[in-house]
Structure 1
Amino acid sequence: MDNKPDEEACLFAMHLTTSSVLPMILKTAIELDLLELIKKTGAKATASAAELAAQLPRNNPDGADIIDRILRLMVAHSVLVCGLKLLPDGGFFARNEDGLSVGTPCLKIQDGAWMEPW
């Protein structure tokens, strides 16, 4: 029997618990029951930060932003996975039927000639 995947998972878990910021985020996520809320959505279901924040007992106007940051950090450390869910209209960064999107001004603003002076 090959225990290598179990050993690697255990080593990864130990790495996660001995780092600095991630354990604090995990503690917060556990205290808020975020992982339980995500689990309740089901294996193939999706949940946005706003949807999760709405299920928390406290109403915090910045709740969705804070939950989003927590989730992004956990995704960055492979605790969770993240996927792209397009909006019904294809999203703001995809071109519409007129060929326009928010992507064009983003490219202009991030252009080297604009950013270098900063």
Structure 2
Amino acid sequence: MTATFGQCCYVTAVHDVAKSQAYFVDKLAFEALEIDAPGWRFVQRGTARFDMGECIGVPEASTLGDHSYIARIFVDGLDDYHAEIAPRGAEILHGPADKPWGLREMAVRTPDGHRIMFCEVIS
């Protein structure tokens, strides 16, 4: 039998789970998932899910340089997504741009400094 892969979930360490979840909901237009797990918050949009665990006292992702890149999420309609989140005040490091590796990419940063690449295949 061949293994089948499903949804991918990103687990992040954050200093303030309420603030981090609010950023994903208010700025990146994700949905909050109502899961009762003290010290954790969860968001999802389509098949992209983030589980945020409160880790007070650990270095923020913003101190990790290039190691703060945590995800590449494929989006159908990347330019539309950019137009949706830009007026919401998302911290967009760079807007959609074609890359030589065949992807159109946009980079955002979360309050904890995690950097996420949203992309789509250039057709």
- Give TM class, smaller chain: under 0.3
TM-score, normalisation: structure 1 = 0.24
Q: Which has the higher contact order (CA 8 A, sep 6+)?
A: 2
Greater strand proportion: 2
Greater helix proportion: 1
